[in-house]
Chains A and B, each alone.
Chain A
Amino acid sequence: MTDTHREAFKEEAHELLGELENALLELEKTPADEDLIGRVFRAMHTIKGSGAMFGFDDIAAFTHDVETVYDRVRGGKIAVTKPLIDLTLSACDAIRRMVGAPEGAALQDPQSASLTQSFRAVLHEQEQPAPGAAEAGAPAPPQRPPEKARRVTYRIRFQPVAELFVSGTNPILLLNELRGLGACTVVAHRERVPLIAELNPELCYTYWDIILTTERDVDAIRDVFIFVEDACELRIDVIDDEGWTDDDGGYKKLGEILVERGDLTLDEIKKALGSCKRIGDILVESGLVAPDKVESALVEQQHIREERQKRQAAEAAASVRVPAAKLDSLVNMVGELVTIQSRLSQLATRSGDLAIIQVAEEVERLIAELRDNTMSVRMLPIGTTFSKFQRLVRDLSTGLGKEIVLATEGGETELDKTVIEKLNDPLIHLIRNSIDHGIEKPEARRQAGKPAQGTIRLAAEHSGAHVFIRITDDGAGLDTEAIRAKAIERGMIAADATLSERELYALILAPGFSTAKEVTNVSGRGVGMDVVKRSIDALQGTIEITSQRGTGSTVSLKLPLTMAIIDGLLVRIAQAYFVMPLAAIEECVELTRADAAKAHGKNLTSIRGQIVPYIRLRERFSIDGQAPAIEQIVTTSIDGLTVGFVVDQVVGEHQTVIKTMGRVYRDVEAVSGATILGDGTVALILDLPKLLQGAEAEIRAQQQTGRG
C-alpha cells in the first residue's frame, strides 16, 4: 500500500473522529436519536473498514468491538447510557493515538486493551439473557489437511433463475471461469426456450450441463457461482476420479448417464431399448428426451473417455511393468559387478598406477549408485500386505466372539519385494496369536477395566538399513509363570533356572512351545512361534518380544531392507573366509590361549564379568591346522542369548551380495549362502542361529551318550 493512501486515510480518520465526537455529545443529550446512532455507527464502520484496507490492523481490530456495540445499539438491543458515551469518547482518543503512531509500531497501549475489555463486557451483558446463543469464540472446525491434487471430473448442472440477466449476471463469464479451472465441456439446454411470440427476451430460459476435469476441489467450483448461489439450482456430482481403479478407458452407457442425471427414468429407457436403433436416436425420436439432453450426455461420455485415455497414456508413460524375473537377473548382474569392482579396486591399489586407481574409484562410485538404484526398483510399500489383514482380523475375531480392530501405520514403508512376500505368513501367524491368545473376550476385558474392543496395531518404520515391524496388542500380556512351567515341563530349562523376562519370552520362540490352554482353530495345533522365528531368521531378521501382564504384548521384527545384499562382518579361519550378518553382532574381543585355559576345557569366557559361552568355528567346520596364539571372539545376540564365535581374524565389515548356493548344498546347515570376495575367493555366509542350534544339539547328544 502506498504511503499517499495511508496519509489520505489518516486525514480522513481525523475528520471522522471529529464528527464522531460531535455526534456522541449530541447523542448524550438525545440518546434515542436514531439518526445520530446511525452516524456514530457509520463513522466507526468507515474507520474500521478503511483502517484494515490501509494496513492499520490495530485500529481495525480495536474499532471492531466498538462497531459491534453500536450495531446492537442501532438494533435497539443496547441502550445509550452515559457510561457508554464516556467509553466511546475514550475510544475516540485511543483511535486518534493509533492513527498518530508511527507506521509499524503496533500500539500496545494498555489503555486501549482495557477499553476493548469494557466494550466486550457491554456486549456480554447484553448476551447474558440469551444463554442459548452460540458462543462467539466457538472453536473453529479442525482444518482438514490439504488434499493431494487429483484430477477429478465433475458433472455440474447450472440452472439459473429466469431473472438472471436482470441481476447483471452474464452466464458466459461464469462458464469461462469454469473453463479456467480445467478441461471443460459445456452444453446448453434450450428446450425451455419458448416460441418467439411467448418469449420474454429479458429472461434466461437456458440451463447448462458442464463436464469439468480439474485438480481443484469442489469449493473452487462453488466459488465460481458464489454470487448466484441463491439464484440458481446447482448440482455438482463427481463422475470420475483419477483414483478410481475401474477405468478400462470405457464409460457409462448413454442411458445410464441420463438416468443418473434424472433426465430419464429406468422404465422409460427399458421401453425405448425394445427397438434396435441407436439409443440416442430412439430417445429423441420418441420425444422422451430433449435432443440437448442427449447431446449433453454424449458430450459427457466423450469427455470422460478422452480424460481416461489421457490418464492411461500418462500412466503408461510414468510406469513400466516388468516381470520380476527380469529384476532378479538385473540384481544378480549388479551383484557380479560389485564383486568384479572390488577385485578391480584391489588390483588397482596393488598396481600403484594413479590413473588406474582413479578409474577404479570412479567405477566404484558408479556401481554403488547402480546398486542402490537397482535395489530401490525392487522396493514395494508394505501397505498392501497390511490391508489384507483387516479382513483376517475381522473374520477371526468374530469367530471367537471377540471384538478386535486392526490399526495399521507406516503402510508406505518400502521393503524388498521378496521380503514382503516372505513376511506374509509370519505376520498372519503373529496376528492370529494376538487374536487367539492375546486379546481377551469382551467380558474379561470389561472386568479388567479395559474397553470391550481390543486393538491390534500393526506398524512399520524405517531405521537405517532396517525396517521394524511391530505387532502390538492391548490384550492380557504374556504369563511368565505359565511360560516357565511349560518350559520346565518340556525340559527346556532346569526347574531352578533363573531367567530374565527377556529370556523367558525368547523361550516361546523355541520349537514346539505353546502356552494356550485350549487348542483353537485359530492358532491351530502344533505350529508354534518357532515357525515364525525360522521365517524371520531366513530373512536375516531378528524377533523380539516384550510384554506387560494385563496390558498387552509387542512382537518386534527387525528386517533388512533387502535380502540381496547384507551388511556382514568378514572373518577368516586359516585360509577360509566367512561372512557373519552384522545385525546380530555385538562386539569383538580377543581370546588368548591363557584365557581359554582358565575355563578348564569348557568353552566359556568372561566378558566384563558376564560368562559368555562360545563356539569354536575352527572345530565346527573341522578346519585343519593350528589356531593362532590370539584368536578373536565375535559375540552375537541370538534369541536373547549372548554367544561368541571364535575365529582366527576379523577382517572387517563387508557389504555382501548374497549368492544362493547350488541345489547340492541346499541342505548344508549353518550356511545361508555365499559371496565372492574382491580377489575371487568364495566366502560362506553363516547362519548363526542354526550354528547355535547345531552346537546345542551336539552337546545334548554328548550328555546323553555320557549318561548312557
Chain B
Amino acid sequence: MEIRYSDRGVVRLEGELNIQEAGRLRELLLQAFGEVQELSLDLEGVTEADTACLQVLCSAHKSFLTANKTLTTTGVPAAPFIRTVDDSGYRRTVGCHSDPQRGCLWVIGGGRG
C-alpha cells in the first residue's frame, strides 16, 4: 500500500489494501482522526482489497461520524475495490443510522460516495 498526501487534504491510497496492510491503514486513519476535521480518501489507485481493510475503513467512518467529523471518498474507487465491496456484502443502499445525513461509505456511486 502506497500512501500519498495531496495539498487539499486528500489521502490517496494505492496498491494492495489487504490484511497485510490493515495494520498500517489503521495507523494512518487513527492518526488522521486525531489531527483533522475532514478527510477524503482517493481509492482510484487500489489494485486489491479485502474484508479486513473494509472493516478498517468502516471503523474509521464510524469514528469520524461519532466525533462530528467527515470522512469521504473522492472520485471513483478502482474496480477491484468496488468488487470487494460488492463481494463482501458491504454495499448499502441506505446509510448507517449514526450518520445524520444517512450517508455511508458504502453507498458507492450514489453521488456523494
Chain A interface (Cβ < 8 Å from any Cβ of B): 165, 170-172, 175-176, 186-188, 190, 193-197, 199, 201-202, 204-206, 208-210, 284-285, 287, 291, 295
- Which residues of A are found within 8 Å of B60, using beta-carbon distances? 196
The smallest beta-carbon distance between B14 and chain A, in angstroms, is 19
With A171-B51, A172-B50 already in contact, the answer to whether A165 and B59 are too (CB < 8 A) is: no
With A190-B58, A202-B22, A202-B23 already in contact, the answer to whether A295 and B50 are too (CB < 8 A) is: no
Determine the main DSSP class of B at the interface with A: helix
- Contact indicator B89/A196 (Cβ below 8 Å): no
Whether B76 sits at the interface, judged by CB under 8 Å, is no
With A171-B51, A205-B55 already in contact, the answer to whether A196 and B63 are too (CB < 8 A) is: yes
Interface bits B49-85 vs A (CB < 8 Å: 1, else 0): 0111011101110110010000000000000000010
- Contact indicator A188/B26 (Cβ below 8 Å): no
- Contact indicator A175/B29 (Cβ below 8 Å): no
- Contact indicator A204/B52 (Cβ below 8 Å): yes
Partner of A199, one of B56, B93, B95: B56
- Contact indicator A204/B66 (Cβ below 8 Å): no
> Can you name 29 A-B residue pairings with CB atoms under 8 Å?
A165-B19, A175-B87, A186-B87, A186-B89, A187-B89, A195-B59, A195-B63, A196-B26, A196-B56, A196-B59, A196-B60, A197-B30, A199-B26, A201-B19, A201-B23, A201-B55, A202-B19, A202-B22, A202-B23, A204-B52, A206-B54, A206-B55, A209-B89, A284-B97, A287-B97, A291-B96, A291-B97, A295-B93, A295-B94
Residue of B with least CB distance to A184: B89
* Bound CA span A165–B29, Å: 21
* Bound CA span A312–B84, Å: 33
* Bound CA span A172–B83, Å: 10
With A190-B58, A202-B23, A206-B55 already in contact, the answer to whether A172 and B84 are too (CB < 8 A) is: yes
- Contact indicator A208/B52 (Cβ below 8 Å): no
Q: Give me the 9 closest cross-chain CB pairs, A-B, nearest first.
A: A186-B89, A201-B22, A188-B89, A196-B63, A195-B63, A201-B26, A199-B59, A284-B97, A172-B87
Partner of A197, one of B23, B50, B56, B63: B63
- Which residues of B are found within 8 Å of A175, using beta-carbon distances? 87-89
The smallest beta-carbon distance between A284 and chain B, in angstroms, is 5
* Bound CA span A208–B23, Å: 23
Whether B25 sits at the interface, judged by CB under 8 Å, is yes
- Contact indicator B93/A196 (Cβ below 8 Å): no
Chain B interface (Cβ < 8 Å from any Cβ of A): 19, 22-23, 25-26, 29-30, 33, 50-52, 54-56, 58-60, 62-63, 66, 84, 87-90, 92-97
With A175-B88, A176-B87, A193-B62 already in contact, the answer to whether A204 and B23 are too (CB < 8 A) is: no
- Which residues of A are found within 8 Å of B95, using beta-carbon distances? 291
Contacts across chains A and B counted by CB atoms under 8 Å: 85
* Bound CA span A663–B92, Å: 72
Residue of B with least CB distance to A170: B50
The smallest beta-carbon distance between B89 and chain A, in angstroms, is 3
- Which residues of A are found within 8 Å of B23, using beta-carbon distances? 201-202
Residue of A with least CB distance to B95: A291
Partner of B52, one of A165, A196, A291: A165
Residue of B with least CB distance to A176: B87
* Bound CA span A194–B60, Å: 9
- Contact indicator B97/A204 (Cβ below 8 Å): no
* Bound CA span A175–B89, Å: 9
The smallest beta-carbon distance between B63 and chain A, in angstroms, is 4
- Contact indicator A170/B51 (Cβ below 8 Å): yes
The smallest beta-carbon distance between B45 and chain A, in angstroms, is 20
The smallest beta-carbon distance between A3 and chain B, in angstroms, is 41
The smallest beta-carbon distance between B15 and chain A, in angstroms, is 17
- Which residues of A are found within 8 Å of B51, using beta-carbon distances? 165, 170-172, 188, 204, 206
- Contact indicator B22/A206 (Cβ below 8 Å): no
- Which residues of B are found within 8 Å of A190, using beta-carbon distances? 55, 58, 90
- Which residues of B are found within 8 Å of A172, using beta-carbon distances? 50-51, 84, 87-88
* Bound CA span A193–B96, Å: 13
- Which residues of B are found within 8 Å of A209, using beta-carbon distances? 89
With A202-B22, A202-B23 already in contact, the answer to whether A188 and B88 are too (CB < 8 A) is: yes
The smallest beta-carbon distance between B62 and chain A, in angstroms, is 6
Partner of A196, one of B29, B54, B92, B96: B29
- Contact indicator B50/A204 (Cβ below 8 Å): no
The smallest beta-carbon distance between A182 and chain B, in angstroms, is 16
- Contact indicator B22/A188 (Cβ below 8 Å): no
* Bound CA span A188–B50, Å: 13
* Bound CA span A205–B55, Å: 8
Apart from A190-B58, A196-B26, A204-B51, list 12 A-B contacts with CB within 8 A: A188-B89, A196-B29, A196-B30, A196-B60, A197-B30, A199-B26, A199-B55, A201-B19, A201-B56, A287-B97, A291-B96, A291-B97
* Bound CA span A175–B59, Å: 22
- Contact indicator A193/B55 (Cβ below 8 Å): yes
* Bound CA span A209–B90, Å: 11
